[in-house]
C-alpha cells in the first residue's frame, strides 16, 4: 500500500490575511510541507508559529490551524488600487486537503 501524506502545512505571503480564501489565494503559497502523521505535522506547525512570532512584530491566530504574522511598513504597491498594502505571512495546517479542525480527528 502506498504511503499517503494526509497532512500539509502551507506557508503563504501576500496582501490578504491567510484566512480569506479569495479567488486565487493559492498564488500566495510560498512553500508546502507534507507529513504522514499528525504528531509530526502539529509539532512542525507549532515550531513554525513560534519561529514566526520571533521574526514579526504582530500576529493573530484563528482557530487551530491558521496563524498570520506581519511587520509594520512591510508593504507592496497595488497598481489596481493605487496604494500600498500590508504584507501578511501565513501558516496554515491542512488535513486531507481541508483546513484542519480538531473535530476532523473524531
* Distance separating alpha carbons of residues 34 and 1, to the nearest angstrom: 18
Residue 19 has what DSSP assignment? Answer: T
* Distance separating alpha carbons of residues 104 and 10, to the nearest angstrom: 18
Residue 99 clears pLDDT 90, i.e. is over it: yes
Give residues with Cβ within 8 angstroms of 41, minimum separation 6.
7, 8, 9, 35, 93, 95
User: What pLDDT digit, counting tens, does each position of 31-65 carry?
Assistant: 999 999 999 999 999 999 999 999 999 999 999 89
Q: What region does 79 belong to: left with phi over 0, alpha with psi -120 to 50, or beta?
A: alpha
Kindly list the domain boundaries of the chain, sorted by start residue: 7-105
User: What pLDDT digit, counting tens, does each position of 60-80 carry?
Assistant: 999 989 999 999 999 999 999
Q: How many CB atoms lie within 10 A of CB 66?
A: 19
* Distance separating alpha carbons of residues 104 and 102, to the nearest angstrom: 5
Amino acid at each position: 500500500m502506498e504511503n499517503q501524506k494526509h497532512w500539509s502545512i502551507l506557508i503563504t505571503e501576500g496582501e490578504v490575511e491567510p484566512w480569506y480564501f479569495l479567488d486565487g489565494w493559492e498564488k500566495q503559497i510560498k512553500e508546502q510541507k507534507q507529513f504522514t502523521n499528525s504528531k509530526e505535522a502539529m509539532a512542525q506547525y507549532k515550531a513554525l508559529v513560534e519561529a514566526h512570532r520571533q521574526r514579526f512584530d504582530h500576529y493573530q491566530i484563528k482557530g487551530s490551524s491558521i496563524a498570520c504574522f506581519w511587520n509594520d511598513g512591510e508593504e507592496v504597491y497595488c497598481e489596481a488600487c493605487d496604494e500600498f498594502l500590508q504584507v501578511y505571512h501565513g501558516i496554515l495546517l491542512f488535513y486531507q486537503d481541508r483546513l484542519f479542525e480538531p473535530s476532523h480527528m473524531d
